Amino acid sequence: TAGSVILAAVLLKMGTYGFLRFNIGMFPQVAKEAAPWLAGLAVIGIIYGAIVAFRQKDVKKLVAYSSVSHLGFVVLGLFALNPLGLQGAILQMVNHGLSTGALFLIVGMLYERRHTRDMDAYGGLWRAVPLLGTFSLLVTLSSLGLPGLNGFVGEFTILLGGFNSVVLGSFWYAGLATLGVILAAVYLLHMFQKVFLGRLEKSENRALKDLSAREILILVPILILIFWIGIHPQTFFDLTNTSVTALLAAIP
């Protein structure tokens, strides 16, 4: 679990940060010329990652493939090469670390209790562990981009940047990427339904313990940031505005 959280929340951003700092920052002309190709690959990643995530029976694999889809939005925002796209991409890097990192933590907490990640082994857990179910619902809604939570702000800003991008020259990139938002709702809500809703039929699940104080202390700061970014994103946009403006000024 610890390795998955570090990978999702920190290390996975090394690739997109590399695009931002090195590819775009050091080679702006080449980035501009390659933008339509990279945006096309980003859209493929968004849709392909979402479809593969939906087919998973293992909760951890589902969250892992969802990362592929969500990072596609970041790449699309970066290569829109406009203020909305870049700021949305930077914020979405943070959002992904919060939402996906929290999902991996929750999967780890479930695994500690049941020693399985198979969705079919669960069902109706809300009745046994309502507090864990509540935290899981909020993080799931954050990951799928519910308005008022962090995921919505990042994805919506990226899509606005994609639709208004002069470099990409077509609204089709952002239009097709919008399918990823719909598919994210499908596979994440399907996962939540399979694990937490329905009848509590399996006897092994009835004896599960709810969240401990330590686990609550781990998840609460993440939820505070999820709501803060969702309700008042300007706090975070203000931090990146100067750097984004300087980066775009260097693009011919």
Asked if the model's pLDDT at residue 13 lies above 90, the reply is no
Phi, psi of 159 (to 5 degrees): -65, -40
Percent of the chain residues topping a pLDDT of 90: 77
pLDDT computed for residue 182 by the predictor: 93
The pLDDT tens digits of the residues spanning 45-99 come to 999 999 999 999 999 999 999 999 999 999 999 999 999 999 999 999 999 999 9
- What average pLDDT score do residues 203-226 get? 91
Tokens read off for 162: 């994609």
Residue 5: pLDDT band (50, 70, 90) is confident
- Cα four-point dihedral sign 23, 28, 31, 36: positive
Residue 134: pLDDT band (50, 70, 90) is very high
Asked if the model's pLDDT at residue 4 lies above 90, the reply is no
Residue 201: pLDDT band (50, 70, 90) is confident
- What average pLDDT score do residues 17-23 get? 91
The pLDDT tens digits of the residues spanning 144-179 come to 999 999 999 999 999 999 999 988 888 899 999 999
Residue 198: pLDDT band (50, 70, 90) is confident
What is this structure's pTM?
A: 0.91
